[in-house]
Amino acid sequence: MSEEAAGLRLTIDLAALAGNWRRLAGLVRPAECAAVVKADAYGTGIAAAGPALAAAGARTFFVALPEEGAALRRALKRSAAPDAPIYVLNGFFPQAAPLYGENRLFPVLGHPGELEQWTAWQGREEAALHVDTGMNRLGFSEGEVESLARSGGPGKGVNLLISHLACADEPEHPINAEQLRRFAVAKALLKLPRASLANSAGIHMGADFRHDLVRPGIALYGGASHPQAVSDPVVTAEARILQVRGGHIGETVGYGACETLKRTSRIAILSVGYADGYLRAAGSSDAASGALVCIDGHLAPLLGRVSMDLIAADVTDIPDGLAAPGRWAELFGHNVDIDAVARHAGTIAYELLTGLSRRAHRRYVRAGD
């Protein structure tokens, strides 16, 4: 969508994305720093984000689905890493086997039946093995790992052992140490060449969690992952101001009449809503304040509910002329913390980023722009 016709504008800073990766890569050495680019690179666009990360130095990538892997391979063909390994976290889809072969996609195998299907596929590439250490999600159970070890291991081509941390964003949670212990047991039993446990938050748990390869996701895209994490904003979301109107004490704003004006107010109506991925729960009411927006350096609180295509903000305290039709209000970015917006909506930055609407105008900023 063109900027002229869009109500939502996304500015995606590829230099910040690359900088976030380089910062993490420096932190985890001698472990390798991969890049997780699932969900269209967390909403930033895999076709742009993949090559930017490759240019920064990323040489291993993770996606969720084989179709995402194929899109990434196309994007990497003219990048600094055209043949980089691409691991498919959701595993092996037998009906899509040709897609794996054509694009050199490596499945992350999560149960014995899947390992059998992959082993039976002729012309296969390499693969990873996922062990469950406490998430009760994907992965071989402890008993299945022991059985696999007794049978001689997963076989030729499986070169990476992975698991996923459940509570690394809570450093003191006891499950972290237990998952580390369970992973060490599986690693000793299966004796695969490489191992990977740490996600974005796990990177900051220390060297014991990093093993050979770390898999940052949200930390690359500007979201908070751990109390010690540092990450520059990558996405700035802005909504077009459609109208500025007056409101009087005692009047209500928006659906449900859930917020009552407590003063004579100026109200800016912005062209964004939950259809764009700006979550309904971020709105405001008489009982609880909502998220903030920023107009020309001035913060303004939301008024009332978020509707499908519109939100309202209280711009009474913003100097005249700054909040005007045709101008843009930042929803999150350098002035409004995406994690703060997510907390108001009762969610996390992951959901905000990955839910951004396709009807937004996207513009990319690269180093030197």
The answer to whether residues 269 and 127 belong to one domain is no
Q: Does residue 191 fall inside a structural domain?
A: yes
User: Can you tell me the mean pLDDT for 249-253?
Assistant: 98
Q: Are 304 and 330 in contact (CB under 8 A)?
A: no
pLDDT at residue 325 tops 70? yes
The answer on 281 and 340 residing in a single domain is: yes
Residues 72 and 160 in one domain: yes
| CA dist., res. 217 & res. 20, Å (int) | 11
**Same domain for 251 and 140:** no
Catalytic sites, residue numbers: 38, 255
Residue 45 and residue 356 in contact, taking contact as beta carbons nearer than 8 Å:
no
In a shared domain, residues 61 and 184? yes
Is the predicted pLDDT of residue 194 greater than 90, yes or no? Answer: yes
94-149 pLDDT, tens digit each? 999 999 999 999 999 999 999 999 999 966 679 999 999 999 999 999 999 999 99
Point out the least confidently predicted range of 1-10, 160-169, 225-234.
225-234
Instruction: Please check the confidence at residue 368 and state whether its pLDDT lies above 60.
Output: no
Q: How far apart, in whole angstroms, are the C-alpha atoms of residue 49 and residue 7?
A: 23
Which tokens is 277 given? 């991925």
Residue 224 has pLDDT above 90, yes or no: no
Decide: helix, strand or coil at residue 24: helix
Q: Would 318 be classed as within a structural domain? A: yes
The confidence score (pLDDT) of residue 124 equals: 67
pLDDT tens digits for 51-67?
A: 999 999 999 999 999 99
pLDDT confidence of residue 248: 98
In this prediction, residue 358 has a pLDDT band, given cuts at 50, 70 and 90, of: confident
Which one of 169, 191, 221 terminates a domain?
221
Residue 255 and residue 166 in one domain: no
Q: Are strands 158-162 and 194-196 parallel, antiparallel or unpaired?
A: parallel
Q: Domain range for residue 278?
A: 235-365
Residues 107 and 162 in one domain: yes
Kindly report the CATH number assigned to the domain that includes residue 211: 3.20.20.10
185 and 264 assigned to the same domain: no
Average pLDDT in the 272-294 region?
97
269 within some domain: yes
Q: For residues 90 and 127, state if they share a domain.
A: yes
Asked whether residue 1 is domain-assigned, the answer is no
Q: Which of 191, 221, 251 is the last residue of a domain?
A: 221
Higher pLDDT, 125 or 241: 241
**Number of folded domains in the chain?**
2
pLDDT of residue 145: 98
The answer to whether residues 187 and 316 belong to one domain is no
Q: What is the CATH number of the domain that holds 274?
A: 2.40.37.10
Q: What is the pLDDT of residue 362?
A: 95
3-state secondary structure of 73: helix
Whether 70 and 101 map to the same domain: the answer is yes
Looking at 221, 245, 269, the residue that finishes a domain is: 221
Q: What is the CA radius of gyration of the chain?
A: 23
Averaged pLDDT of the chain: 95
Which tokens go with 20?
């976030």
